[in-house]
């Protein structure tokens, strides 16, 4: 039907073509290059509408939701880059998109990193991804009543909750695939910490997902350990590990986070000033870990390391030597 509609020379039904493309992309993660060349431009055109009406905002949102379902499909830049940049830039100036639509636009663009590292500068430097993500998380956090209890039946998920969860998934993917450092990451990490602490009592499904970007970022050499410390990520990871069960995926993520931090803080710097900074940061983190009883926590997980490693697919098999997980001065 999509191909037949495309072949029409007269009386083309753009709304029908858009609806068909949305349905097809939402139902299929793997599509042919021929259909990509039709669906992507069609949905980007729909997502580029700037009329200020509720119906248009919902049309734009649906088009972007369908596009961001193309997570692991190679798409040539000429099919999407200028258009998606324009959509993001227009929203930054006029705030015409819904929160879910704006998140979806970023998710679509960031998802292209898995196959195209040339997008790093566009995403990080030109479009200020970290700054925008931090701002969105802070605004989402303000719009949610985090103290609300779940009593009286199952809580209905709100758009803010769904969007927040999607941001955490996107950020985890970003830090797992981006190799470019930016000072704006510190603000972003601080925003994630804020969401985690706000949501941990009544919205554990969100607070637990906040650990994922930290685990990915800690393994990236371009991400400075000092930025994780400065933002409070180390503190909040120590707080969370006490809440995790021995067979919990979050426990595995937090342990991997500290493994990465420990490994990188042991790497000596050639520059004398940088080496002094490394030693000082190492001392501070070690003292904080010791103060929070991290060694006791690691010991309590001692018998379950093999289980966690096999179940949650660590890149490195966890050693039974618990001291491998401590930051030793």
The span from the CA of 61 to the CA of 57, in Å, is 6
Q: What pLDDT is recorded for position 156?
A: 45
The span from the CA of 11 to the CA of 41, in Å, is 19
pLDDT tens, position by position, 92-109: 999 999 999 999 999 999
Q: What pLDDT is recorded for position 329?
A: 41
Mean pLDDT for 75-87 is: 96
Residue 283 pLDDT greater than 80, yes or no: yes
Q: What pLDDT is recorded for position 7?
A: 85
Between 133-142, 159-168, 177-186, 247-256, the lowest mean confidence (pLDDT) is in 247-256
64-73, 123-132, 148-157, 200-209, range with greatest mean pLDDT: 123-132
Question: pTM, whole model, 2 decimals?
Answer: 0.89
pLDDT tens, position by position, 10-69: 777 899 999 999 999 999 878 889 999 999 999 999 999 998 899 999 999 999 999 999
Q: What pLDDT is recorded for position 153?
A: 38
pLDDT tens, position by position, 257-276: 998 898 899 899 999 999 99
φ, ψ of residue 278 in degrees (nearest 5):
-60, -45
Domain ranges within the chain, ordered by starting residue: 1-127, 160-329
Residues 77-82: contacts with CB under 8 Å, at least 24 apart = 77/116, 77/118, 77/119, 79/36, 79/37, 79/40, 79/41, 80/40, 80/41, 80/44, 80/108, 80/112, 81/119, 81/122
Identify which of 81, 65, 181 has the alpha carbon closest to the alpha carbon of residue 130. Answer: 181
Residue 311 pLDDT greater than 70, yes or no: no
Residue 317 pLDDT greater than 90, yes or no: no
Q: What pLDDT is recorded for position 20?
A: 96
Conformation bin of residue 293: beta by default, left when phi > 0, alpha when psi is -120 to 50: left
Please state, for a pLDDT cut of 90, what percent of the chain lies above it: 63
Share the mean pLDDT of the chain: 88
pLDDT tens, position by position, 196-220: 999 998 888 899 999 999 999 999 8
Q: What pLDDT is recorded for position 326?
A: 54
Instruction: Give the sign of the dihedral formed by CA 12, CA 17, CA 18, CA 19.
Output: positive
Q: Kindly report the number of other CB atoms within 10 A of residue 2's CB atom.
A: 18
Q: CA torsion angle for 289, 213, 281, 323 (degrees, to 10)?
A: 40
| Contact present, 84 and 43 (Cβ < 8 Å) | no
């Amino acid at each position: 039907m999509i191909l037949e509609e495309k072949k029409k020379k007269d009386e083309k039904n753009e709304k029908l073509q858009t609806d068909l493309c949305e349905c097809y992309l939402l139902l299929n993660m793997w599509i042919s290059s021929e259909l990509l060349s039709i669906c992507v431009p069609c949905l980007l055109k729909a997502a580029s509408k700037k009329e200020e009406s509720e119906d248009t905002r919902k049309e734009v949102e649906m088009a972007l939701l369908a596009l961001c379902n193309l997570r692991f499909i190679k798409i040539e830049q000429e099919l999407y880059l200028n258009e998606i940049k324009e959509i993001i830039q227009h929203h930054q100036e006029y705030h015409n998109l819904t929160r879910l639509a704006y998140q979806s636009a970023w998710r679509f663009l960031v998802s292209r990193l898995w196959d195209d590292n040339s997008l790093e500068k566009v995403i990080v430097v030109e479009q200020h991804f970290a700054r925008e993500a931090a701002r969105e998380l802070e605004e989402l956090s303000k719009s949610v009543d985090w103290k609300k209890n779940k009593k009286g039946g199952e809580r209905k998920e709100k758009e803010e909750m769904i969007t927040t969860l999607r941001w955490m998934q996107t950020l985890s993917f970003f830090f797992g695939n981006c190799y470019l450092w930016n000072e704006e990451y510190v603000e972003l990490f601080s925003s994630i910490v804020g969401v985690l602490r706000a949501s941990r009592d009544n919205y554990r499904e969100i607070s637990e997902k906040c650990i994922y970007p930290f685990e990915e970022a800690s393994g990236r050499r371009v991400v400075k350990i000092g930025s994780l410390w400065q933002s409070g990520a180390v503190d909040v990871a120590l707080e969370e590990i006490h809440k995790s069960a021995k067979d919990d995926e979050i426990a595995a993520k937090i342990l991997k986070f500290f493994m990465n931090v420990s490994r990188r803080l042991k790497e000596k710097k050639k520059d004398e000033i940088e080496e002094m900074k490394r030693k000082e940061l190492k001392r501070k983190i070690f003292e904080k870990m010791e103060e929070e009883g991290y060694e006791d926590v690691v010991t309590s997980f001692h018998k379950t390391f093999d289980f966690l490693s096999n179940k949650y697919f660590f890149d490195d098999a966890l050693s039974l030597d618990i001291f491998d997980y401590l930051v030793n001065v």
